[in-house]
Structure formats: C-alpha cells, structure tokens
Structure 1
C-alpha cells in the first residue's frame, strides 16, 4: 500500500470556503463529537461554563483533519485536530485560526505504539514492512511514527501506516490484521488491562509533555461572533482547569453521566480509564511552538509547498479569559 497524505485534494475546492456564519452573531455552535467519549466543549457545557452558548451535535468524527476541514468549509462551526494538521490546512490556504489547546501528552494522557506480547517486533528496524494501524494518516500518530523511525536511522517510508477506526484498533491487533496498534487514553488503558500486548514507545517518551491539538474557527466566524467564541474558549479553558483540580474519579463520574443522558446509543464504559486531557498550558493557551514544531516535519514530507507561513497569524489567545 502506498503511503497517503491527508487532505490530498485540499487546496482547490475545500479551502476556498470561509465558513457559513452569516447575519447576526450566533449563540449555537455546530460540532462533531466522538462515540463513547466526552469532548472538552461537552464537559464545559455540562458544567455551565459556556454561559448562553449552546452546542449542536451534528455527528461523530474519528479524524482530526476531517474535523477541521469541516470547520473550514462551514459544515461545522469549530473543529479540533493535531497541530500539524492545522498547519497543513492553513498552508493550503484555509482561513482558520487556532484558539485553544484541547489534548496533549503527559504521564497520564499519551499515545502509544503497541504489539502483541509474542510479536517479533522489538526495535525500530523491525517495523520495516509492518502494518501500523492509526486513526488517520498525515496527522499526530503518523508524525510520531516518522519521528521515532528517523531518530533511529530508519527510513519512515519502510513502515506501512493504515487507517483503522480507534474503536477497532485493539481488535485488529489481536486478530493480527495489523502488526502495530496505536492506542491512546481510555482505549489504551482498556487494552492494557486485557493483557497480551506490550509497548514499543509513546509520544510522551519521544517528545516529553506537550499540547498536541487545538480547536480552530474560521477567521470569518471569529470576526462575526467574537462574544460567542470568547464564551466558548473561556468555558473550555475553565473545563481544563476544573479537570486538573478535580479528582479523576469525579471527572469520570461527570462524563459518564453526560454520555448516559445524551442518548446517542453508545458504550461509555471506557470512560472509567480517563486520567488527563494532557494539555500542557494553563487554560489551554496556544503557543507558537505548538504549531511551529511541526513545520519541519511537514516540509520534509513536501506537504507545505512554497507557501510561506507566518505561524503567529495561525493562532490567538485573545478569546481566552482564563488567567495565564
């Protein structure tokens, strides 16, 4: 299978849209969720941190690039993705701006690359020709795989990343449909609890603690709805800090009740493994380094073209009311 890059068709049709916010300011934000999980905006809404701003769930996504693409084209009002995906989409001409971090890696929240206990894969060189299952290509997990291989003098092109829905990744590994499974958060802990798998490496071990992904809005939406965005960003920032200050069992209980009462016919049992969002900065504030660190990786893949990026123009903290 040839290695694919995400948003390969972007740049012509997708990126000309500036969002669909029209007329007077809106107080309702359309968004995509995640099956069996609770997003930070959903938690913020349940805690009452969004004020009079409402969330309108339009479906679920398993891909950050798809989520921010939907925001860029106006199918939703905001989306979240790996910061490298945000840089790539902006480089292709999308008028988006990152406003708050929402996930990352720390000692509790991280993404790992796992194999079966009896797998012959033990070194980076052993990944040559092996199938590595991940939620999407050209984003966080493929970046981690590339960096891991490059640091160990292995050509990243020798591995074979494949798209596998997160909910199916563990099963695909156990059934030997893939050789390596990328697992994070509650899905990782659930798989480890079942036993029979072992770790190759994690993104936290590779890069240390870092905020990995941000929520974005289009510039048009920010201009038309500044008060709504301010309520959203500040509310999500408060939810991050509430989660830090609250015992994890209480956070899990809150999220479990959110899943139960929203009635989406989903299994929320994995929520009990939640420990952290992994956001490094206070209130989810965005820093230039969060975005600039991925420019070299993307440039090395030939995915930025000749476009010059002003990283400082890709994010803003002006809507974040959580004290720094």
Structure 2
C-alpha cells in the first residue's frame, strides 16, 4: 500500500504543477501590433521598457508587417490584445460578430497629403483623376483620407486611383513619381532626405476632418481591442493593461531621448526621423476612453458608414470603459 500511496502523492504533485503551468500559460497576454505604421513607436517603447511586465503580466509580443495583421489575428484568436490597430478594421470585426471589446483610443490622426515640391497640384480638390498613395484599405488613416476627400471635395474612390503601400514605400512611390500625391505621417516625411526641398504639404487630415465634421477634435485612427475570452478569464488584470499603456505614454512624453534611442534600435530609424517621432509623441499617441472619446469613435463610425467604408450598426457592448476607469481610479 505504501508504494501506491507514494505513487498517488507523486501524481497529485505533478497534477498541481501541471495546473500551475497551464494557468500561467492561460493568463499570458498575447499582444499584437503593426510595425510599419503609427503604432510602431508606442509598441517599441512598451516592449523595451517592459511596462506590461512591471504590472505583473506575462506577455508575448507578436509583430505584424501589414496594417490588417492585428485585426486578422484577433479574428482567429491568435492574439488577445491589439493596440494602435486600425479603427476601421476593429469596427468591421465587431460587426462580423468577433468576440472583442474596445478598451481604449490609442492613436490620433497625424497624417498629411503630400506632393512633390514642383508639382502643379496645390489643393486636394485637384486630385481628381490622379494616383494617390495611401496605407492599404482597412487602415484608419485611409478610412479618414477617403472620407475627407469625399466629404470636402466630392471625390469618390472611382475618381482617383488609390495606390496602397506601407509608408516608406509610399515615400518612395512619390519621389519616383509613381503617384501624384501620398498620405503620410510627418514622421515619414521627415525621414526623406532634404524633405523641405523635395516635398510639399497641401493639407493635413486633422484639419480636413474638422472642416468636414465641424468638430473641434481630430478623429482616432488606432484603438486598443481585446478578445472577450481574455477579459473574462482575467477580470482583475484588464486595468493593469491600461495602466501599463498609460505609463508608456507618460514615459515617452517625459523621456524623448530614450524614445529616440529605442526607435533607432527597434525600427532602424535615422536620427532625424527618430527625433521627429519623439517630438510628435503626444500628437500621435494617447490612452484614453472617457465618454467624449467614445462619442468621437461613434461619430467616426457614422462618417465611415456614410462614405461606404462600413455598413450596419455597432454592437451595443463594443465600447468597454471599465478597465480604463478602474485604471484611472487606481484599482
């Protein structure tokens, strides 16, 4: 009997260990973000400074070279959290019945319509029949860009040719005259050698949006989205996720030199581009989910819907403010 008791004790001990290991893996937060767009800098700082880990979270970062990668991964349950993910893509996922909740607005529009310095094009109204470089369809920037061209100038997608590419490629397209104009972030423009002499800004999407909506606030293009399963399995940790992101935001604002160093290493940015990104840190990044933010997101959905980018209605429970409110309250 004694050997049997020993075997039982060993089995029970192994079971406890197995359950502990399983529990650890179950609570791992799989985080995905797009590394060729606006979320790059914020993600690089989050990783380098280990803000999630400092909150006691086990985390696995997954990088996507394509703007639609994080939303696709959310849909297939390959990640639990995507931040800086395309607002248009996230809204579309929710309409398809994917079990997700939006927990924060994380990136604001910070893009310009740019042409070559010697281009005859002086205003967005002159883009009819032209080739315009933008991020791939599905990105928040392209959603806003196509919406303002339609809303302010009556330019439908059929009235110009949209040439898709990531931002470094768009800059290349423009310089090689493969497109007549491109929608790019100032950080990308700053990385073009002698950009002040070679390129000219004809409009900013933020100003164009305010003109179209008659609102004082710019739209969000990137949001933080979580799958319901992780939220349900880790109800006490969701606020820690928001706290980690808020601390990353504050760190970037207070430590511009550190942001430059991180971007040079993680993104192979040149000094000028990294400094420009650091200088624009608070113009691009945020972590907020107050009622005014939710109202802005709902308004953006209606604009996308009116422009044909999205259809239908949003799930009533899509906007989940509790983690953000708990984080603000220090819970």
Equivalent residue number for residue 190 of structure 2: 189
What 5-or-longer segments of structure 2 have no aligned partner?
1-21, 211-216
Pairing of 1:1-324 with structure 2 (within 5 A): 25-34=26-35, 38-50=40-52, 51=54, 52-63=56-67, 65-79=68-82, 80-105=84-109, 110-157=110-157, 158-191=159-192, 193-194=194-195, 195-206=197-208, 207=210, 208-244=217-253, 246=254, 250-251=255-256, 253-259=257-263, 266-269=267-270, 270-274=273-277, 275-278=280-283, 283-285=287-289, 287-305=293-311, 307-310=312-315, 313-320=317-324, 321-322=327-328
For residue 112 of structure 1, report the CA deviation from its aligned partner.
0.3
Output the CA distance in 1 between the equivalents of 2:90 and 2:175: 33
Output the CA distance in 2 between the equivalents of 1:125 and 1:271: 32
For residue 268 of structure 1, report the CA deviation from its aligned partner.
2.5
Q: Report the TM-score when normalising by structure 2.
A: 0.75
Count of paired positions: 287
Output the CA distance in 2 between the equivalents of 1:30 and 1:278: 23
Please say if residues 150 and 307 of structure 2, whose CA atoms lie closer than 8 Å, have aligned partners that are also in contact. no
Output the CA distance in 1 between the equivalents of 2:34 and 2:147: 29
Q: Report the TM-score when normalising by structure 1.
A: 0.77
Output the CA distance in 1 between the equivalents of 2:318 and 2:45: 26
Please say if residues 116 and 174 of structure 2, whose CA atoms lie closer than 8 Å, have aligned partners that are also in contact. yes
For residue 82 of structure 1, report the CA deviation from its aligned partner.
3.1
* CA deviation vs aligned residue, 1:258-312 (integer Å, no higher than 9, x gap): 35666xxx5132322112243686x42253223212222332344544x43245x
Output the CA distance in 2 between the equivalents of 1:101 and 1:140: 12
How big is the alpha-carbon RMSD for the aligned residues of Structure 1 and Structure 2?
2.9
Residues 292 and 48 (structure 1), Cα distance of their counterparts in 2 relative to 1, 3 Å cut: same
Larger relative contact order (C-alpha < 8 A, sep ≥ 6)? 1
For residue 184 of structure 1, report the CA deviation from its aligned partner.
0.6
More helix per residue: 2
Residues 187 and 154 (structure 1), Cα distance of their counterparts in 2 relative to 1, 3 Å cut: same
Q: SS where residue 121 of structure 1 aligns?
A: coil
Residues 260 and 53 (structure 1), Cα distance of their counterparts in 2 relative to 1, 3 Å cut: farther
What 5-or-longer segments of structure 1 have no aligned partner?
1-21
Please say if residues 44 and 263 of structure 2, whose CA atoms lie closer than 8 Å, have aligned partners that are also in contact. no
Residues 288 and 55 (structure 1), Cα distance of their counterparts in 2 relative to 1, 3 Å cut: same
Q: SS where residue 53 of structure 1 aligns?
A: coil
